[in-house]
Amino acid sequence: MDVPALLDWFDETARDLPWRAAGTTGWGVLVSEVMLQQTPVARVAPIWQEWMARWPKPSDLAAATQGEVLRAWGKLGYPRRALRLHAAASAIADDHGDVVPADVDTLLGLPGVGAYTARAVAAFAYGQRCPVVDTNVRRVVARAVHGAGDAGPPSTTKDMADVAALLPEDAAAAAKASAALMELGAVVCVARGPRCADCPVFDGCAWQRNGRPAYAGPAKAVQKFAGTDRQVRGLLLDVLRDTDEPATKARLDRVWSDAGQRDRCLDSLLVDGLVEQTPDGRFALPGEHGAVSPRG
DNA sequence: TATTCGTGGTG
DNA sequence: TCACCAAGAAT
């Protein structure tokens, strides 16, 4: 792959995303990466701006209640990420001098920080040369390097080696290349309808050379949503996000007709710590109304 | 390794 | 219209 061409393209056309502004701290990068897990850029941007204004340091977020954090998370989805980020902020404040660690292995010890996020922070916040592998990068490598229509199932070891082989030796250039690979996958080498006419690495693309074969790997599992526990949990949490006062069980019962599924979901939310029960038996977001110890 | 975990935009 | 898709992590 023509990495210099990719770097030039990135310099010229990179999106002006708020967390890419000069002066963004490691904390800002970490918050952005967690919010961006499985969530589109357009939905994250305004929430990230609010968080940075409200909680500019890890200790600021750590001082908030879980309920405040979940409300500020809004409808980004997968709200357990918000609780994990809150826990990570406490760990950073308590154990790391209120500064997001730069070491990948240390980052991996934080709640909600996995293989992708740890390396994204190391590269984008601290300019390190380490492979950053997300769904965009895997698709770009599958096409441009391997000539396939799309990436197969994730293989951490092989994916990391593929990307490591592409990175320039210089750390700053490598970090920029990591951002550029992601940008290419997000903007040009997209899953449906890739814009190959605008691609900076078109000439060396193995997928073009192969005649643009269709994806040949195993079928990818389709995520159902309608009627699942995820939908019901989302409906329950939405009620609690919208009210300052705890909600009665009767109020929550209105969100879903199937009592068995509804109760199972409320139970799982209590177990996950996303909901608490108040001493009088009502339900609320955690940390704000003197909870009874969660059962389970 | 396969599932589970939200939400909303889109071709 | 509706299946697919979106800067994954935890178990």
Residues 124-143 of A with CB under 7 A from strand B: none
Q: What is the mean pLDDT of residues A49-64?
A: 98
Q: Which strand (E) or helix (H) includes residue A157?
A: helix A156-164
Is A251 (CB) below 7 Å from strand B? no
**Does A159 have pLDDT greater than 50?**
yes
How do residues A250-260 score in pLDDT, each as one tens digit? 999 999 999 99
Amino acid at A260: G
Annotated catalytic residue A169 = no
Reported as a pLDDT band with limits 50, 70 and 90, residue A295 is: very low
How do residues A259-281 score in pLDDT, each as one tens digit? 999 999 999 999 999 999 999 99
Q: What's the pLDDT score for residue A288?
A: 86
User: CB atoms < 10 A from the CB of A4, how many?
Assistant: 12
Is A193 (CB) below 7 Å from strand B? yes
Q: What percent of chain A has pLDDT over 90?
A: 94
Cα dihedral across residues A15, A17, A21, A25: positive or negative: negative
Cα dihedral across residues A265, A238, A42, A193: positive or negative: positive
Please state, rounded to an integer, the average pLDDT across all residues of chain A: 96
Question: Tokens for A12?
Answer: 């010229």
Q: What is the mean pLDDT of residues A183-202?
A: 97
**Does A294 have pLDDT greater than 70?**
no
Q: What percent of chain A has pLDDT over 70?
A: 99
**Does A156 have pLDDT greater than 50?**
yes
Cα A96–chain centre separation: 22
Identify which has the larger pLDDT, A67 or A155: A67
Amino acid at A246: P
DSSP state of A233: H
Is A157 (CB) below 7 Å from strand B? no
Helices (H) and strands (E) in chain A, counts: 15, 2
Residue ranges of domains in chain A: 25-124, 229-284
Q: Which residue is nearest to nucleotide B10 (CA to C1')?
A: A192
Chain C positions with any atom < 7 A from a protein CB: 3-10
How do residues A5-24 score in pLDDT, each as one tens digit? 999 999 999 999 999 999 99
Is A49 (CB) below 7 Å from strand B? no
Q: What's the pLDDT score for residue A289?
A: 86
Q: Which nucleotide is nearest to A234 (CA to C1')?
A: B6
How do residues A95-154 score in pLDDT, each as one tens digit? 999 999 999 999 999 999 999 999 999 999 999 999 999 999 999 999 999 999 999 999
Q: What's the pLDDT score for residue A293?
A: 58
Q: Which nucleotide is nearest to A157 (CA to C1')?
A: B1
Q: Can you tell me the distance from the alpha carbon of A35 to that of A112, in angstroms, rounded to the nearest whole number?
A: 10
**Does A296 have pLDDT greater than 60?**
no
Q: Identify the architecture of domain A25-124 in CATH.
A: Orthogonal Bundle (1.10)
How do residues A232-246 score in pLDDT, each as one tens digit? 999 999 999 999 999
The CA dihedral of A44, A39, A173, A97, to the nearest 10 degrees, is 60
Is A78 (CB) below 7 Å from strand B? yes
How do residues A195-232 score in pLDDT, each as one tens digit? 999 999 999 999 999 999 999 988 888 889 999 999 99
**A104 CA → B9 C1’, Å:** 33
Q: Can you tell me the distance from the alpha carbon of A166 to that of A10, in angstroms, rounded to the nearest whole number?
A: 15
